[in-house]
Structure 1
């Protein structure tokens, strides 16, 4: 029975991964921050290691584990979070990979993101061979994930056994926080607070398939390679129409040009936020939506056997979970 050390186990992808590892017979030790909500790990046979990615004693926390899944990251599109994004995502990754070397970890799966890869020209899907110049990546979250992935690449070149996975946009259960996808798309639809939409597109995948992709990367992934964990490219309108079929609620029928939410976001972040008002729309989030983010996950499907659960199923699982946990009334 192998023992896995998991960071980010209280989060969306991490909680699904921890459940899969336990189901597959792994022992799990999860790194949790002192102020973390532990709802996603309640009732699970998981050993908790209290700490932070930047702690100097992480090697001691990992002793006795054979494999590491480094899933944790700070995800924020707010420009005021710039420093924390680099501290947690870049320096935290550097720190935990160094600690893993000290602790004798045999193999590592590092959770990057398609955000680190960038976007293609003319809305074309891209694969692992593509890399947008870092200066063209929109926002500090994407840039921090790029530089964090470079830490994994450097550690691998220095001799560590690391496989990199790049999830696209996961959908499903255990979206506790919730993620921007869960909050801004699914919950806004359920709460009937989405009268219009922006013309954009994303690659979506069931979060359980993302968890499977992590385990498959551990078992079959090539050292130093990266694998896009994705499934279906959909326009935002297509996704909302599927949500409408599931919920019986009408999907918005009118789109608005990007300059409208961009103007609102600019006022929110640049003028009202410094005055103490909580902003509602991030500037970088709107800028990202101006370029559809489409990806090709054929490599992970062919080399790893990545499952491709229908997005309709993922959306239904997400809706059922949000409703069951009281996020919205049906």
Structure 2
């Protein structure tokens, strides 16, 4: 039975990834940080005997030999954020090495297959203006940013996040191009919604742990998230794409032939509110009213051409927005029972990156 290492196995995306690979017949070794691993093992050990949890606290500088022992492939979900360091140089190194060190460790341990969970933000200019210019993005598109621009340190957190994603992905491909034994794929995703993995510890009551689902939780608090680019993908489809990428042959002439954009379409906040009002009348008092005003988009929405993923990964049918919304809401309501009073302060506006984005709209 093949064994795969999945980083960030306790996170929203990582946990769903674990379940998908177990269902496909894999033994899974999942990484969890030290402060959370005891509870993680306690909760999931009996439910998922095919899952082994190991402690990894540092993907940037750490030696991952033990975590990668007897592993056939690596699924790298747990990418560090470009904030909180000693300065722009430290922050950039954290994000870049968060990718490259995992690749370096894989090569050192004789592992060729690596799939990284990336962001569609790497295909956009970090100003995000291109998201509202009616473009059609493909895998050939890249955000325009240099190390020097990042190191200047004079941009807001939204720009910093998107720029870091672009620079980190470029560094990963540059590394792969110099390592003939490495077979890298990167799955770049838009906003990811969907269910929280059953049988796993509930996510923490904070926007970082909830990732994009914090916007749906904002709706459940009666508030309206900002007019974000509304492209989305269900987390179960994200996991499916990562599994499929392991079967794609190694790129021959251009390593970036295994760069993929995936997307299920659009999920608009107004449509989500209308749907939930009618499908779940018991939630009406929690939702924005049907006549609520939603801020307009700054321009025509850019879309994603996911033809490469369709042809090479078999990503033909995606979970639609209504099914994804249903699963997201169910998971958030269940998690809310565990959060208790902590849930009262949780919304889109509590996230530092989103605060920067919201300030741009004013």
TM-score, structure 2 normalization: 0.72
Q: Indicate conservation of the 8 Å contact 1:231/1:297, yes or no.
A: no
Structure 1 residue 218: Cα displacement: 1.1
* 2:206 equivalent to 1:179: no
Alpha carbons of structure 1 residues 234 and 222: separation in structure 2 relative to 1, 3 Å: farther
Q: Indicate conservation of the 8 Å contact 2:195/2:328, yes or no.
A: yes
Structure 1 residue 173: Cα displacement: 1.2
2:343 is matched with which residue?
none
In structure 2, C-alpha distance between the alignment counterparts of 1:83 and 1:144, rounded to whole Å: 11
Deviates more, 1:208-217 or 1:128-137: 128-137
Q: Indicate conservation of the 8 Å contact 2:7/2:32, yes or no.
A: yes
Q: Indicate conservation of the 8 Å contact 2:20/2:239, yes or no.
A: yes
Q: How many residues align?
A: 296
Q: Indicate conservation of the 8 Å contact 1:204/1:234, yes or no.
A: yes
323, 330, 342: which one aligns with 1:320: 330
* 2:262 equivalent to 1:253: no
In structure 2, C-alpha distance between the alignment counterparts of 1:152 and 1:232, rounded to whole Å: 27
In structure 1, C-alpha distance between the alignment counterparts of 2:32 and 2:276, rounded to whole Å: 33
2:185 is matched with which residue?
163
1:21-170 mapped onto 2 (5 Å cutoff):
21-36=21-36, 39=40, 42=44, 43-45=47-49, 46-51=51-56, 52-75=58-81, 86-118=92-124, 119=130, 122-134=133-145, 138-158=158-178, 159=180, 160-170=182-192
Structure 1 residue 35: Cα displacement: 1.8
In structure 2, C-alpha distance between the alignment counterparts of 1:78 and 1:296, rounded to whole Å: 34
Alpha carbons of structure 1 residues 81 and 295: separation in structure 2 relative to 1, 3 Å: farther
What's the RMSD between the two structures over aligned residues? Answer: 3.1
Unaligned runs of 5+ in 2: 125-129, 151-157, 197-201, 341-362
* 2:245 equivalent to 1:217: yes
In structure 2, C-alpha distance between the alignment counterparts of 1:50 and 1:89, rounded to whole Å: 20
Tell me the secondary structure at the aligned position of residue 326 of structure 1.
helix
In structure 2, C-alpha distance between the alignment counterparts of 1:82 and 1:231, rounded to whole Å: 34
Alpha carbons of structure 1 residues 82 and 123: separation in structure 2 relative to 1, 3 Å: farther
Structure 1 residue 297: Cα displacement: 1.9
Deviates more, 1:317-326 or 1:105-114: 317-326
In structure 1, C-alpha distance between the alignment counterparts of 2:105 and 2:134, rounded to whole Å: 40
Q: Indicate conservation of the 8 Å contact 2:133/2:299, yes or no.
A: no
Deviates more, 1:170-179 or 1:158-167: 170-179
Q: Indicate conservation of the 8 Å contact 2:192/2:213, yes or no.
A: no
* 2:303 equivalent to 1:294: yes
In structure 2, C-alpha distance between the alignment counterparts of 1:86 and 1:310, rounded to whole Å: 36
TM-score, structure 1 normalization: 0.78
Q: Could you report, residue by residue, the CA deviation over 1:58-100 in whole angstroms, capped at 9, with x for unpaired residues?
A: 1232121010111111357899996775344211211111110
